[in-house]
Amino acid sequence: MSPYGAAQGTGSGVGIGGQLGADIRASAAGQVVYAGDGLAAYGNLVIIKHNDTFLSAYGHNDELVVGEGDAVRQGDVIARMGMGPERQPQVHFEIRRNGTPVDPLGYLPN
């Protein structure tokens, strides 16, 4: 795992390694507000709006399973893991609180 703030260009999250093609799951219930590859530094990206305060983002995906407007539940598969900037399987994971990046590890269960 790369620590919060370590990545160039996308330093407002953490990199979580795994297996190429592994399931990426929603951290919490919400609505997909973005699914695409329009932000080059993130590759294939999914953004989920959880409520008026929190968004989560999942970048460097190989395949997107959800589309914009889809409702997801916590644990639903939203994407498949792709290659991160170091050419290793990785998902870039961010949480934004009121639009400001925060260390996502403080919001995940132990």
DSSP 8-state secondary structure symbol assigned to residue 47:
E
Q: What is the pLDDT of residues 42-63, one digit of tens each?
A: 899 999 999 999 999 999 999 9
Identity at 14, one-letter amino acid code: V
Reported pTM: 0.88
Residue 107 has pLDDT above 80, yes or no: no
Residue 6 has pLDDT above 60, yes or no: no
Q: Is 13 exposed, middle or buried (0-12, 13-18, 19+ CB in 10 A)?
A: buried
DSSP 8-state secondary structure symbol assigned to residue 110:
-
